[in-house]
Structure 1
Amino acid sequence: MNVLLITGTDTGTGKTILTCALAAYWQTYRPQESLGIFKPIQTGVGDCELYQQLFDLNQTPEEITPLRFQTPVAPPVAAEREGRIVDLSLVWQGFNHLRQQRQWVLVEALGGLGSPITNELTVADLARDWRLPVVLVVSVRLGAIAQTVANVALAGSCGVQLKGIVLNCVQPCSQEDMANWAPIDLIESLTNVPVLGVLPYLADTTDVSKLAQVASDLDLELLIPR
């Protein structure tokens, strides 16, 4: 069984898009390998419903996301507002159950590496404690270099196994935009982490065939070796 945690430099960087692209790749090119998707905690409505809509995962909503809050804010804030706790034992049980059933599990983090899971733990802490290899999604925009360097430094200080970086065009990007905002050579030089490729801007992020195609253009051998 293999696991990959997909996180980002911030909320809205494209973690869900990369997760969907990888799932579409599996569905298209590796259907013989059983895949599960795990969103440990969800606040508000969104990713769990999207995964069920796009993919035949044979998972209940609770198996995809064992812990949910109605308030669309950070989990410890949502839990306080709703008079609940962030029960990580429930999340761990759900994760263990799924990874025993599937050959591969994609885990989509909530927010970025520095996003809080509880009042004491961040996504980076969870990745370290659960020994999850991580891919970092970086949105191509002004400030991308600094955000990438800061998140890679956080991963290093927390002992996170960072396998690679994927750049995501959150808006239409020209080659000049890429060179100015997220130059691959500079990012790799500053971080010593490989950039595995670029997700182009997708007008329709629910087109499974297109998602599979853009995933196949990434350097996937470092993420999902055969």
Structure 2
Amino acid sequence: MSQAFFVTGTDTEVGKTTIAAGLLRAARSAGLSTAAAKPVASGCEQTPDGLRNSDALALLGESTLALRYEQVNPFAFAPAIAPHLAAREAGVELSVAALAEPVRQILALGADFTLVEGAGGWRVPLAGTSSLADLAIDLQLPVILVVGVRLGCINHALLSAEAIERDGLRLAGWVANIVDGQTSRLAENLATLAARLNAPCLGQVPRLERADPASVAAYLQLAPLGMQI
């Protein structure tokens, strides 16, 4: 049975893609077919093939289905700024409907395990008054929250979880990505997160010298998501 999840973070630069790629690798290692989408990305580089985003390329590299880059990342912008601002400068209408359609096409392929990665945190703006949260709501996907573990992460994690649940979506699981290895009282912070987040922890990923998908996957587990492995 195919399952799909929306991956969001407590903030920008918390390792959403690192964790998403690790989860995809874990699924691949378990013999599952995988697919991914990064519907909008800013901070893309110009290449002979067009604008390319390193996060989207990482997700594409962990997809077992034969996907084209444009399927994974249909909206790519060069400036490393908020997506709605980058889209506005490019004269592009970044609506929920426009983002949802290419994602639905990937979901329709029926991979065993599909991840749709957002940009930044839960309330990143799109066109008008909409946000990436509205995309997850439109797709009705359960959510995986990547918690960038550093000072202040408990507040960010709990507020994000409350917003996700208030929006009517299920928090399927969360990952502690330790972005600051010098975080004071690390064990106590992780215990507080585990006690207060109403979802299973999929893993605690330490700060790795080489955070490639295989290395990250070693710290993650898919069973709490209900995956049949």
- Asked whether 1:62 is paired with 2:70, we answer yes
Q: Which residue of 2 aligns with 1:132?
A: 141
Identity of aligned residues (%): 28
SS of the residue corresponding to residue 137 of structure 1 reads: strand
Q: Which moved more, 1:153-162 or 1:3-12?
A: 153-162
- Asked whether 1:77 is paired with 2:82, we answer no
TM-score by length of 1: 0.86
Q: Which residue of 1 aligns with 2:59?
A: 51
Q: Which residue of 1 aligns with 2:205?
A: 199
Residue 213 of structure 1 aligns to which amino acid in structure 2? A
Residue 18 of structure 1 aligns to which amino acid in structure 2? I
SS of the residue corresponding to residue 164 of structure 2 reads: helix
SS of the residue corresponding to residue 13 of structure 2 reads: coil
Distance in 2 (alpha carbons) for counterparts of 1:210 and 1:129: 33
Residue 214 of structure 1 aligns to which amino acid in structure 2? Y
Q: Which residue of 1 aligns with 2:25?
A: 24
The Cα of 1:78 is off from its aligned counterpart by 1.0
Q: Which moved more, 1:150-159 or 1:45-54?
A: 45-54
- Asked whether 1:212 is paired with 2:197, we answer no
Residue 124 of structure 2 aligns to which amino acid in structure 1? S
Q: Which residue of 2 aligns with 1:39?
A: 38
TM-score by length of 2: 0.85
Contact 1:173 1:201 in 2 (8 A): no
Contact 2:8 2:121 in 1 (8 A): yes
The unaligned stretches of length 5 or more in structure 1 are none
- Indicate the RMSD between aligned Cα atoms, in angstroms: 2.1
Q: Which residue of 2 aligns with 1:151?
A: 160
SS of the residue corresponding to residue 37 of structure 1 reads: strand
Cα shift readout 1:91-149 (whole Å, capped 9, x = no counterpart): 22211211121322111111111211333122222222210100111111111111111
Residue 215 of structure 2 aligns to which amino acid in structure 1? K
SS of the residue corresponding to residue 198 of structure 1 reads: strand
Q: 1:95 to 1:144 in 2, by over 3 A?
A: same
The unaligned stretches of length 5 or more in structure 2 are 45-53
Distance in 2 (alpha carbons) for counterparts of 1:194 and 1:50: 25
Residue 209 of structure 1 aligns to which amino acid in structure 2? A
The Cα of 1:203 is off from its aligned counterpart by 1.4
Contact 1:76 1:119 in 2 (8 A): no
The Cα of 1:167 is off from its aligned counterpart by 0.6
Contact 2:20 2:115 in 1 (8 A): yes
Q: Which moved more, 1:88-97 or 1:156-165?
A: 88-97
- Asked whether 1:97 is paired with 2:97, we answer no
Q: 1:126 to 1:52 in 2, by over 3 A?
A: closer
Distance in 2 (alpha carbons) for counterparts of 1:118 and 1:178: 38
Distance in 2 (alpha carbons) for counterparts of 1:28 and 1:194: 21
Which of 149, 170, 178 is the equivalent residue of 2:186?
Answer: 178
Q: Which moved more, 1:187-196 or 1:116-125?
A: 187-196
Residue 66 of structure 1 aligns to which amino acid in structure 2? P
Residue 42 of structure 1 aligns to which amino acid in structure 2? A
The Cα of 1:224 is off from its aligned counterpart by 4.4
Q: Which moved more, 1:102-111 or 1:89-98?
A: 89-98
Q: Which moved more, 1:156-165 or 1:36-45?
A: 156-165
The Cα of 1:88 is off from its aligned counterpart by 3.7
SS of the residue corresponding to residue 183 of structure 1 reads: helix
